[in-house]
A and B are shown apart, each in its own frame.
Chain A
Amino acid sequence: MTTSHTVEIDRLAFGWPNMPRALLDIPRLQIETGGSLFLRGPSGSGKSTLLNLLSGVQGGYSGSISICGERLETLSAHRRDQLRADHIGLIFQQFNLLPWLSPIENVALACRFSKRRREKAKVSGGTVAKEAERLLRELGLGEVVESRRRTSSLSIGQQQRVAAARALIGNPELIIADEPTSALDSEHRDRFIDLLMAETRASGASLLFVSHDASLASHFDRTLELGATTGNSEEALTC
């Protein structure tokens, strides 16, 4: 197995039991280290489903998926959970944060299930909390840190940046963002994407960015289109 690819998909097919035909059918897809992929498709095209497959919480597919050189289908459920904790940072559309933890605690949460990321965060920031604070500052949330704001009092844009800091802490190899900007206005959206791109690049991680908004494609190295009802993808795709 080569390790220069963070994600490698080979002849992947997946369908929900109640569906007449396969939802996903991807002959080949690779994201190399440091690369970025824009995953586009209308609602119901299976974007979130693909992310569930990649992060190892959904099985039952044919073909193979490798994350950082580990083939998911050969791993136990427990090892897949560990792989996700160690190598993948996730950002969602909404509800990214636990409102009863402070922003710094929310960021530090990602190190809780991963010794690897905990150690890396300590190397970089001294302690996990300091590293979380550093990332928040870098993402323009210095004011949030200083004034000890409560998580529930943050604006949506601020919350998404806290979520980005959590995905980035401990330098995971793959950042997956599932429509993280759909609740933001266009100005904040572009700022968020630029920031996310810069930080991912700085940490050397690969980025998988999901959206149904085609206008964002220009930010990324490559684009993968998922069809609405036809379970397909255009061609073998390498980025």
Chain B
Amino acid sequence: MLIDLLWRSLLNRRGTVLLSVLTIGLSVALLTGVEKVRQDMREGFFNTVSGTDLIVGARTGQVELLLYSVFHLGSATNNIRWQSYQRIARDSAVEWAVPLSLGDSHKGFRVVGTSSEFFERYRFGHQHQLQLSSGRTFQGIHEVTLGAEVANRLGYQVGDQLVIAHGLGSTSFSQHKDQPFTVVGILAPSGTPVDQSLLVSLESITAIHVGWRAGVPMPGLSVDANKLAEMELTPKEITAVLLGMKSKTQVFQMQRAINGFSGEPLLAILPGVALQELWQVIGTAEKAMLAISACVVLAGLTGMLGVLLTGLQQRRRELALLRAIGASPLHLLSLVVMEAMLLTAAGIGFGLSLLWFALILAQTGLYETFGLYLTLGWPKELWQILALVFAAGTLVGILPAWQAWRYTLADGLTPRT
């Protein structure tokens, strides 16, 4: 019954009112935005290798295997023999197997030796496939397809030549100088570790190590390209295998079989389970982010409290007047609480439109610069967040309302200002 009066009163004070709606809106946009980024990052993280059923490597911890095979962090202590790979790949339950050979680098970026099936089988996000932004995928030896960030940071274009270093240090002394690679294609950003990789064929990896023994080039043993073409370049060892099964029901059976493999000690992991374990470690950072933005909302609400309290001092006469025409203290109390609720609601509305607008604007930019793919949609559990903010806003209104209550009882009909 007082809502129209409240509206007119707010219109009259629109300057300060607008300002507090703005602050609440900004903080709500920040909170929901952080939550959105957090959820999409998490989603993206868990879907880094979304199409793969099993990852196989030499026996080690499951997080270690995940780290070096997918995220290219650390290195494998042992390799898988080519024969073992072939036996697994030929199993009737296996639909596809993509070998990975890691261990070389270029200016700090990892070189990944693999089959060309990699481009077809590797999936991220919701079953997204890798896309080329220019050129083509590698085919012959000494051809390389670059991840988006590699090309971007090092300024490579299709047709450029580069030299791969032996080992993983960015200032490795041993360079495969005699066998330069040609950039034949550049991938579009995917937000996965592929962006930071140089993809070459397994044969290329073998080729550059021809004439090397125990990590150093043997003098007089270097080979020229013509000879290489005639050589048998099938690798003897690889680092890891990505497996896709024909049926999901066979995944566990296959995992057990590989873990008990007779030829050599192997480990097969479910990517989802290993990612979950890894997230336990790095997920705390996101929680900290959320906590900080919750503090920002608190700051926004404190700003509103200030607006309400100073407004109340000015409105003391207004309240006394309403009291004189028959308003009870409860009326006036509810008027002030309602004001806080209205401001919070307006702030939430403004914040949400701001978030949506920012999402539209940031979507492509974030994807291209950070590989962070934001979907155009509200964060999950949005209602819980908003309900919490609204409840906090209402609670903030209680303090000035209580103050108004005290004023009306102390003032009677004549306000003391």
Assess the B413–A100 pair: CB atoms within 8 A.
Answer: no
Assess the B414–A178 pair: CB atoms within 8 A.
Answer: yes
Assess the B323–A98 pair: CB atoms within 8 A.
Answer: no
Assess the B328–A81 pair: CB atoms within 8 A.
Answer: yes
1/0 contact string of B401-417 vs chain A (CB within 8 Å): 00000000000111100
Assess the A110–B325 pair: CB atoms within 8 A.
Answer: yes
Return the contact of B326 from the options A48, A84, A95 (Cβ within 8 A).
A84
**Residues in B neighbouring A112, C-beta threshold 8 A:** 1, 5, 325-326
Find the B residue at minimum CB distance from A113: B326
Residues of B85-115 at the interface with A, using a CB-CB cut-off of 8 Å, are none
Q: Please, how many angstroms separate the alpha-carbon atoms of A178 and B321 in the complex?
A: 13
Assess the A92–B413 pair: CB atoms within 8 A.
Answer: yes
Residues of A81-117 at the interface with B, using a CB-CB cut-off of 8 Å, are 81-82, 84-86, 90, 92, 95-101, 109-110, 112-114
Return the contact of B325 from the options A85, A99, A101 (Cβ within 8 A).
A85
Size of the chain A interface, CB-CB below 8 angstroms: 29
Assess the B324–A95 pair: CB atoms within 8 A.
Answer: no
Flag the segment in B6-14, B302-310, B388-396 that touches A: B6-14
**Residues in B neighbouring A110, C-beta threshold 8 A:** 325-326
1/0 contact string of B1-45 vs chain A (CB within 8 Å): 100010011011000000000000000000000000000000000
**Residues in B neighbouring A84, C-beta threshold 8 A:** 324-326
Is the CB of B317 closer than 8 A to any CB of chain A? yes
Assess the A109–B317 pair: CB atoms within 8 A.
Answer: no
CB-CB under 8 A for A77 and B8, given A55-B413, A57-B413, A95-B321: no
Assess the A92–B327 pair: CB atoms within 8 A.
Answer: no
Is the CB of B318 closer than 8 A to any CB of chain A? yes
Return the contact of A98 from the options B318, B328, B412, B413 (Cβ within 8 A).
B318
- Nearest Cβ in chain B — how far from A187, in angstroms? 26
**Residues in A neighbouring B329, C-beta threshold 8 A:** 77
**Residues in A neighbouring B8, C-beta threshold 8 A:** 98, 100-101
Assess the A82–B414 pair: CB atoms within 8 A.
Answer: no
**Residues in B neighbouring A113, C-beta threshold 8 A:** 325-327, 331
CB-CB under 8 A for A90 and B324, given A52-B412, A100-B12: yes
**Residues in B neighbouring A86, C-beta threshold 8 A:** 326
- Contacts A90-B325, A178-B413 known; list 10 others, CB within 8 Å: A48-B412, A52-B414, A55-B324, A57-B413, A77-B329, A82-B326, A84-B325, A98-B8, A98-B321, A100-B11
